[in-house]
Amino acid sequence: MHSRVYMYALLSMALQTCAGSQSKASLHETKTELFLSAPSFAVVGASDDETKFGTIVFKTMLEKGMDVVPINPFVSESQGIPCLHSLAEIADPAQTSISVVTQPAVSLQILQQATALGILAVWLQPGAEDDAVLEFIRNAGATGNSTTSFIHSVTPLPDVVRRDNGTGPQVPPCPRDGPETPDLISTLWRRN
């Protein structure tokens, strides 16, 4: 346990000191290692609906043997595990990485809470961000006031568009870290 805590502390320091000198691919790999080095995880947006991407992310993390909890204030459990209702219920935020699979307006609130709580790392899944979310991430990094690391995934296909709540107008995909930034599920399956 201590070696894992030490490892993610070192990765966090490396991420903060080397961010300006690393290529996007190298920076993404450092952020990925930091995210995955956490002893515990949470998926914001996991639900009792097997077809929702949040539940698929949560199931994948469970299948990979990760210590993960679902967070959703609207359902009682996901995959038989009781849902936390908010990030504030996480036992040790500084040792927890979270995956966010929510609508952008909700994601922005989650990011604000995550930085206030000192969550180790946040991985935004495709469609969880908009311009306001990306601006929040840029500002958090620019001011140096946040110890939270952020990753945001690319849309699986470049021509895919998101529909807000499935009923809104089509919007173009938001700019993300770059084409080398896959979603969390792809990253987990490539590793094992």
Domains and CATH numbers, the chain: 38-191 (3.40.50.720)
**48-52-54-55 Cα dihedral, nearest 10 degrees:** 40
Q: For residue 94, what pLDDT is reported? A: 95
What is the pLDDT confidence band of residue 29, given thresholds at 50, 70 and 90? confident
Q: For residue 28, what pLDDT is reported? A: 75
Q: For residue 23, what pLDDT is reported? A: 61
**38-84-78-184 Cα dihedral, nearest 10 degrees:** -30
pLDDT in tens, 48-90: 999 999 999 999 999 999 999 999 999 999 999 999 999 999 9
Q: For residue 3, what pLDDT is reported? A: 44
Q: Contact 34/12 with Cβ under 8 angstroms?
A: yes
What is the pLDDT confidence band of residue 34, given thresholds at 50, 70 and 90? very high
Q: Contact 34/120 with Cβ under 8 angstroms?
A: yes
